A and B are shown apart, each in its own frame.
Chain A
Amino acid sequence: MIAQIGFSILLTSVMAYAWTEYRRAPVIAILSMLVATAGLYFVWLPAHATTLAALVGIGRGVDLIIYIWVIISLMLLLNLHLKLRSQAELITILMREAAVANARRGKPSK
């Protein structure tokens, strides 16, 4: 029960974080929420995880949950990458404004 509560808190946090990211990266946010919801479902109904795992050839239900967690981690990493890209775009805009404002005009030597 303690593990289930702990995982539930973690997965709910992932869902909340994904919700906050929806505006910036909607595809990643929706995927994260879907995978976290699946994780939450299997944490409380592990027998269903075992059934589904057997169906898709994974073996044990716990393995399926671990895979889901790995997928969530990868998506969070991708989201971090996207955030860094957004920051880089802002820095580019800032540098562009500064560069254009400080243009130097050359005069060709005769």
Chain B
Amino acid sequence: MSAGNHSEVDPRSIWIVIAAFNEAAVIEPIVSDIVRGNYSVVLVDDGSQDKTGQIALAAGATVVTHPVNLGQGAALQTGIKFALQQGAHTIVTFDADGQHRPSDIARLVDALKQSNADYVLGSRFLGSSRGMPLRRRLLLHAAIWFTRAVTGLRLSDTHNGLRAMSREGAQRISLRQNRMAHATELLQQIAASELPYIEVPVTIEYTRYSLAKGQGLADSVAILFDLSVQKLHR
């Protein structure tokens, strides 16, 4: 499925940020599909030990490489910083494990433009998710309640990596959480910015590969710890 175009905004000023760590097995079709939509792609190779960076480069992405693995939060912030430096009008974050559909990018970008919101957040619970195990569903619902409690945002999905933000919105994001707690931290920063946000339905397709890379209960505990500890220092 090809990433679609949308009117008026130059697609090259729309930057798709992909944080990737050891994704050589799946990254080529993802990058190629997005590049075919004429979007600009920055793939942050987060210290991969395989050929993720080289494959993405060959597929047409701009590749920014962390010398060592820092975590998805750090990689996204690097990608956002790079895209802003390139004069991005809109920034979309997109997962590297094949769970997201490139065709949803146009939907997010159009919603950003039509709603005048600064953040458009993808929601699998407004859209659809295929192959989601019950344990993952329960964990995500717990995360939704937790995020509502700590951010005050009334969202239907909180740990969805598919989101779009305006340039102004992206400038308000400064992730300090290098690892998985960045998803909650990002929502905290959206709440703090007081800029408008909306949710749009998106499709998430779980595969054996993406599930193996996903989070478990122990990761949730680590996220809680990271978020708590961050409040103790500057």
Binding site for B on A (CB under 8 A): 23-28, 78, 81-82, 85-86, 88-89, 92, 95-96, 98-100, 102-109
Contacts and interface: CB of A to CB of B under 8 A. Distances in A.
A82 B232 contact: yes
Contact of A28 (B32, B68, B232): B232
Top 10 A-B pairs ranked by shortest CB distance?
A108-B60, A106-B57, A82-B233, A25-B233, A96-B78, A99-B64, A103-B64, A105-B62, A104-B63, A106-B60
A96 B232 contact: no
B217 interface: no
7 contacts: A27-B232, A86-B233, A95-B67, A104-B65, A105-B62, A106-B62, A106-B63
Contacts of A25: 232-234
B85 interface: yes
B58 interface: yes
A95 B81 contact: no
B67 to A, nearest CB: 6
A99 to B, nearest CB: 5
A20 to B, nearest CB: 14
Contact of A24 (B42, B58, B233): B233
A100 B70 contact: no
B206 interface: no
B229 A81 contact: yes
A92 B78 CA distance: 9
Contacts of A107: 60
Interface residues of B, number: 33
Main secondary structure of the interface of A (DSSP, over half): helix
Which residue of A26, A98, A103 has the most chain B CB atoms within 10 A of its CB atom?
Answer: A103
A96 B232 CA distance: 24
Interface in B55-79: 56-68, 70, 74, 77-78
A28 to B, nearest CB: 6
A100 B81 contact: yes
B145 interface: no
Given A24-B234, A82-B233, A92 B74 contact: yes
A106 B233 contact: no
Given A28-B232, A95-B70, A96-B78, A104 B60 contact: no
Interface in B213-234: 229-234
Given A25-B234, A106-B57, A108-B35, A100 B62 contact: no
B21 to A, nearest CB: 14
Contacts of A89: 176
Contacts of A92: 70, 74, 178
B82 interface: yes
A81 to B, nearest CB: 7
A107 to B, nearest CB: 6
Q: Which of B68, B85, B234 has the most CB of A within 10 A?
A: B234
